[in-house]
Amino acid sequence: MKNLIRFALALGIIALTSTAAAEKISPVSVDGATTVDAKSAKALFDKGVLFVDVRKDKDWEAGRIPDAVHLDVKSAFSEETLAKEVGKGDPVVIYCNGPSCMRSSKASSLAVSWGFSKVYYFRGGFPEWKKAGYPVE
């Protein structure tokens, strides 16, 4: 009986761990934003569209997309700070550390809710950009 209880508890812990890990996958899309891949993001980059990096300071310091603006979603990203960088009707690309990072989906959703109408959600973020061989600084 003790072994059966231990087995059930172990299965429960595995299920909870798996559920927690699954919740850390960013959504494929964000309502009101346009999801872009690296190729589409690069086309926007080439047109001079502003990129906003919402990662942690240490990630930003380790490398970024050239000319991106850093607004850590947990400490610096707000309607006011975003509006200082881009108009509500202007395009903006928001990125973080790829599908395992929830920051860009959160920031994209917030930007849409604040009335920014041309939000591009770069779900693959910096890792996808770098993997594609695009410039980094």
Q: For residue 115, is it within any domain?
A: yes
Hunting for tokens 């920051």 — which residue is that?
103
Q: Chain centroid to CA 18: how far?
A: 22
Q: For residue 57, is it within any domain?
A: yes
Of residues 5 and 102, the one with the higher pLDDT is 102
pLDDT confidence bin for 1, thresholds 50/70/90: low
Whether the pLDDT of residue 22 is over 90: the answer is no
Q: For residue 95, is it within any domain?
A: yes
Q: For residue 89, is it within any domain?
A: yes
pLDDT confidence bin for 23, thresholds 50/70/90: low
Mean pLDDT value of segment 36-61: 98
- CATH code, domain with 127: 3.40.250.10
Q: Is the whole-model pTM more than 0.95?
A: no
Total domain count, the chain: 1
Mean pLDDT of the residues in the chain:
88
CA-only gyration radius of the chain, Å: 18
User: What's the CA gap between 15 and 6, in Å, rounded?
Assistant: 14
Q: For residue 19, is it within any domain?
A: no
Query: Where would I find the H helices in the chain?
Result: 2-22, 38-46, 57-62, 79-85, 103-113, 125-131
Q: What's the domain range around 83?
A: 27-131
